[in-house]
Structure 1
Amino acid sequence: MTKHILIIEDEPDIREATQLCLEVAKGWKVSTACSSQEGVEKAVAEHPDAVLLDVMMPDVDGLATFAQLQAHPSTQHIPVILLTAKAQPDEQRRFAQLKVAGVITKPYDPLTLADQIAEVLEIR
């Protein structure tokens, strides 16, 4: 079955490159959002299999967006994978305390990204 991944990322280059990687590598359906609000709206409307969520975004950051997704009954079951350049041990501990499915550190390898996501989601 084809997976549907929603990418919430404010940087257009990263958003497009990530989308291309997932479509080419796995043939997944990929939706994108450039802001927290758009991302939450799309998650509610589209019910993706997973959300790739950038932590550092203007206006509403990824952690606040994650809280919104968790608070909404129709999106709280969707696995969320954080994309972050913040890989310090204290930040990693903070992310671990959240109920995120996983954390992928930027810059990530576009060639292995889809496999990393599949591994987190236990897709074979």
Structure 2
Amino acid sequence: MSLKALYIDDDEDIGTIAVMCLKLDGTFDARHASSGAEGIDIAVDWNPDVILLDVMMPVMDGPATRQKLKDNPATADIPVIFVTAKTQRSDLENLSGLGALGTIAKPFEPITFADDVTQLLARDG
């Protein structure tokens, strides 16, 4: 049985690559949303097992999207992993305070991306 992963990122190319990497691994059924609002709508309807969330997006950034997911009873318990190029210690500390499972640095390694997600999920369970 595959896990459902939702990748939220305003960059269409990165979203396409992320979904392809997750699907090729065979562990995940994956979808991409190109904005926080679209991601929330998909999460409510699809109920993914994990949400991968870009931090720097226009209109509603990753932290704001994370808060809206936490505030919605339909999505509050879905684990979130941030994906970001902002990987300085202070950035990571700020993100860890938002209740995510962890952070994957951008640019992520396509060959190990699905494994990286799986390892973070295993730490949670």
TM class, shorter-length: over 0.9
Distance in 2 between residues matched to 1:21 and 1:38, nearest whole Å? 21
Q: Name the structure 1 match of 2:95.
A: 95
Deviates more, 1:19-28 or 1:49-58: 19-28
The amino acid that maps onto 2:41 is E
Shift of 1:26: 2.5
Tell me, yes or no, if structure 1 residue 46 matches structure 2 residue 50.
no
Describe how 1:98-117 pairs up with structure 2 within 5 A: 98-117=98-117
> TM-score, normalised to structure 1's length?
0.96
Query: 2: distance between equivalents of 1:112 and 1:122?
Result: 15
In structure 2, the gaps of 5 or more residues are none
Q: Over the residues paired in the alignment, what is the CA RMSD in angstroms?
A: 1.1
Match of 1:73 in 2: 73
Task: Give the secondary structure class of the aligned counterpart of 2:37.
Answer: helix
Shift of 1:95: 1.1
Distance 2:22 2:48 in 1: 14
1:4-83 paired onto structure 2 within 5 Å: 4-83=4-83
Identical aligned pairs, as a percentage? 39
CA distance in 2, matches of 1:117, 1:27: 10
| Cα deviation 1:48-94 (Å, max 9, x = unaligned) | 00000000001110000000000000101000000000011111111
Instruction: Give the Cα–Cα distance (whole angstroms) in 2 for the partners of residues 24 and 92 of structure 1.
Output: 28
Match of 1:3 in 2: 3
- Cα deviation for residue 32 of structure 1 reads 1.2
* Matched position secondary structure for 1:110: coil
Deviations 1:11-53 (A, max 9, x none): 0110000000000013421111101110000001110000000
TM-score by length of 2: 0.95
